Amino acid sequence: MKPINCILIFALFMLWNSFVFGDTAKKLNFVIIYADDMGYGDLAIQNPESKIPTPHLDKLAREGMRFTDGHSSSSICSPSRYAILTGRYHWRLSSTLTNPMGPSRFSKDRLTLPEMMKKKGYKTACIGKWHLGFDWLANVKENYKDKIDKKAVLAEAIDWSKKAPDGPTAHGFDYYFGEGVPNFPPYAWVENDKVLVEPTIQISEIDDWVKEGPAVKNWDFKKVMPTLTAKAVEWIGKQKGQNKPFFMYIPWTSPHAPVVPIDKFKGTTKVGDYGDYVAQSDWHAGEVLKALEKNGFSENTVVIFTADNGAAGQMAIRLVRTGHNSSGQLKGMKKMTYEGGHRVPFIIKWPGVTSPGSVSHALISQIDIFATIAKAIGYDIEEGQAEDSLDLMPVISGKQKDFRKSLVINNKYWGMRHGDWVYLEDLDKMKFKEDYLKARGDTKETAKYALYNIKEDVAQRHNVIDQHPEIRKQLQAMLDKAKKEAGGKRKNNE
């Protein structure tokens, strides 16, 4: 090869490398859209039998890389949110995490993703469901301190004129707008660290979905998602011309209960209110993507879409009534250690890196987002921080097909994924209704422990634990090691 060609190729390589990893990378924006209770099979592009249209998310997948084996840390909401923002398994702290009215689960010296971004000059925003504590209980009025009921806090017991002492803005976000949790109090808009309007009434528990607690008068659950999206679009617009990169975390309240589609989407699917709500959620994603394009950010913004856990329990009833399976071919749902509980929709669009329409079957986790972004912006993660996170770039760039060798599964109950094998414990604690099993073409699991070859049996129908005692022993030893590390040395209020 002629010297001039070598020099040209080297120059082009260095230019590309600097775009991905060097100074130019600092100008990349990062947006994470985090769905709430959206099942693996709700995304139309990866479930041929889905009865719910998701055109905007399908388009995002066609423009980026879709992962078929991507996982949340937990199969319930709050722990997964802790994990994605810290780059560590939630079970190192707790299986269930937080009371929405209670203290934050981040200690002051626990590095969060937005804190890391701020250190590299990023502007940070969170708009949506927080579910990691504001510590409103720290603002209990003096005359209520001896008689506060943490499970049913009275509106008048809290001094709402005070700031929330330990919310999103205390852990790295320059700006926050949201309402904490869609079905837990307080039912009020919070901007940064204060409520916009003080809760003055008490909402009673509704259908086991909406929990009792303080609320703003005439609180409208239907307006939550539209308001959040409008705020997200507004915030993106304000970044135009600022010449400062931004990190934006948009944790949805949908399609989590209460399932409240707006009139525009009511009756637009054949899957009832839930299907309509998922279709509406897809539209919300489209509005954010449109705002990025309108303001000139599409070509320098990394967009990540995923969900905190699998579909909620009502998905079994939907399958029987409508034929739509929110878990697709996967077994199980939210709160379970089966694949349907934690294998979730996962899309990454990284301009100049991901190949449009590419699909990866590599085993990955949301905890890996932390290390991936850190490498891209040139941040050296300190020892003891984000200790479970791995850099996804070799997979995202298409250079590597395989990634994680193992993954610890936890939501009170435990499991271990290693290679093509999945070992699960306490299956007798996870109950399925007979009509759901029949609709799925499945039989009742009677064993307490199970071993599945996930490559050959992704639907987890064939428990082969008796045929492979050595593999079970290997995975059990790995799981026992993880259990010893669970709930270990904590920092401050962790």
Do residues 124 and 373 touch, judged by C-beta distance below 8 A? no
pLDDT tens digits for 285-343? 999 999 999 999 999 999 999 999 999 989 999 999 999 999 999 999 999 999 999 99
pTM of structure: 0.93
What are the sequence ranges of the domains in the chain? 27-405
The pLDDT score that the predictor gives to residue 105 is 87
The pLDDT score that the predictor gives to residue 149 is 81
Per-residue CA distances from 312 to 4, 47, 75 (Å): 60, 17, 10
Residue type at 456 in one-letter notation? E
Phi, psi dihedral angles at 231 (to 5 degrees): -65, -40
CATH number attached to the domain at 27-405: 3.40.720.10
CA pair distance 130, 178, nearest whole angstrom: 7
Question: Which positions of the chain have pLDDT values less than 70?
Answer: 1-26, 98, 206-208, 488-494
The pLDDT score that the predictor gives to residue 181 is 87
The pLDDT score that the predictor gives to residue 12 is 42
